[in-house]
Amino acid sequence: MRKKLCSYPSCNTLIDQHESRCSKHKVNRIPFENAIRTNAGLYNTVKWRKMRKQVLKETPCCFRCGISVKEAAMEVHHIIPPKGNEELFFDINNLVSVCKQCHNVITAKEIKIDRQNRN
């Protein structure tokens, strides 16, 4: 596999092509650590668990990349973020199946947009 230099200034450590920094300079962040989750309590309800199960059963593939539930862990994503709107939170037409990787990408974009709108 091809190697490249760590992106940290003046570091000459060779790393894998898909990495950006060596282990010494890597910044370990907790994904979505500053995200505001206004619907946190609703995810623990029986109603949500049943809806989630139904969505995954009806659409067992990621709507973004097409990977199936047999190949990856699947999650359920709100197309329009409900942001405290309980009716929108439980609207089955607002839900899609996504793999964990795609869900992280989508959520990161939503968080970025929210931060830009707040500033």
Mean of pLDDT over the chain: 87
Placement of tokens 């037409």 in the chain: 93
Q: What number is the average pLDDT over the span 67-77?
A: 86
Integer angstrom CA distances of residue 107 from 1, 7, 24, 25, 32: 31, 26, 28, 26, 8
Q: What number is the average pLDDT over the span 11-35?
A: 80
What do you get for the CA distance between the two ends of the chain, in Å? 42
Residue 31 has pLDDT above 80, yes or no: no
- The string of DSSP codes covering 46-58 is HHHHHHHHHHHHH
Question: What predicted TM-score, i.e. pTM, was given to this entire model?
Answer: 0.68
Beta bridge partners of 96: 77
**What's residue 39's pLDDT?**
84
**What is the β-pairing status of strands 14-16 and 3-5?**
antiparallel
Instruction: Say how far apart CA 80 and CA 91 lie, in whole Å.
Output: 10
